[in-house]
Amino acid sequence: MSYVTGANVYLVTRPSVDWQVVQAFLDDENLPPLTESIRAGKDDALAAIEISARLCYMSYGRGRRHIEDFIHNLLSSSDGSVFEHVNYGFVFTGVSRSLTHELVRHRAGFAYSQRSQRYVDETDASFVVPPALAEDGPEAAEARRLLEAALESAAGSYTDLNQALDALLPRSSFSSNTDRRKAVRQAARAVLPNATETKIFVTANVRAWRHFIELRAASFADWEIRQLAIKVLRMLQEEVPILFDDFVIESLPDGTETASPEYSKV
Ligand SMILES: Cc1cc2nc3c(=O)[nH]c(=O)nc-3n(C[C@H](O)[C@H](O)[C@H](O)COP(=O)(O)OP(=O)(O)OC[C@H]3O[C@@H](n4cnc5c(N)ncnc54)[C@H](O)[C@@H]3O)c2cc1C
């Protein structure tokens, strides 16, 4: 049995601007050259937002001259739709099925691809230890012993059920071995616990990530998804500070962290 504490978070996709085409657009529209029209410099994420926002009023080369000022004005006036042009994709591993069940409730602006429990055998699955049980001390150790006993039992039942279903489902009923394996695993997974480790590729735009972080890094969110939301926040703050630097991360007396934004639900 293997146990996991803490998610791995990989930022795998980020936005990209074709600057030659932007220049062609500016030329065709008789607008000022790139350096005057676009204040974001060569930052592709900020540029995508600026290009889209300035297009609304054809204000290239006019108005706010500093990109920080420009972006904070959009955030503070809840002009959030332009943030939908910028997407970041993450791979999360070492997360539980209970976390991903909460994660996939976020619909607007999100795309998901998750490891399948029908195609992939879970006999050697890892299990995610809830943060409350990953603490030091005798009480946590005792609670963890209870958790591990339950998980070992579930893992044993999964193996037994796989064997029972293998004997039960006739080969002649399936057009391929893959379909039969799927039928076995889709039934056997009934006994897999919420703590079963999973992997998921999640892409969302900046408006959606901000909303996700606001809800899931709040003190009332589950600790596991809260830790994940704060990891994502830290990575995005490093990647593109101007779009996420209004979020403040704080430590609570119980040792956990929360984050909240200055600009709510933009
Ligand atoms: C602490 C916490 C506890 C929770 N507990 C429960 C629970 O007990 N049971 C439960 O079922 N869920 C629960 N949820 C999930 C919650 O109800 C939302 O489904 C989840 O947080 C996604 O939020 P959202 O709908 O705002 O996000 P998204 O789906 O990403 O939507 C973003 C925004 O787009 C708009 N929008 C999206 N879809 C529509 C639509 N169809 N119509 C109109 N506007 C739309 C809304 O303004 C919405 O806020 C909980 C969430 C949190 C953070």
- pLDDT above 90 covers a percentage of the chain that reads 96
Distances (CA, A) of 71 to 55, 63, 124, 196, 263: 15, 12, 47, 40, 12
Residues 199-205, mean pLDDT to the nearest whole number:
98
Structure tokens at 112: 């998901």
Confirm if 252 and 219 have CB atoms less than 8 A apart. yes
> Residues near 171 by Cβ (< 8 Å), separated by ≥ 6?
180
The reported pTM is 0.97
Q: Identify the pLDDT of residue 61.
A: 93
Ligand 1: residue whose CA is nearest its atom 39: 108
Question: Which residue among 99, 104, 106 is best mutated to probe the pocket of ligand 1, counting the most ligand atoms within 8 A of its Cβ?
Answer: 106
pLDDT greater than 90 at residue 211:
yes
Index of the ligand 1 atom closest to the CA of residue 108: 30
Is residue 82 helix, strand or coil?
helix
Question: What confidence tier does 182 reach under pLDDT thresholds 50, 70, 90?
Answer: very high
User: Which residue among the candidates 185, 216, 226, 234 is catalytic per the annotation?
Assistant: 216
For the question of residue 216 being annotated catalytic, the response is yes
Which of 153, 112, 124, 103 is closest to 4 using CA atoms?
Answer: 124
* Residues 38, 67: Cα–Cα separation, whole Å: 9
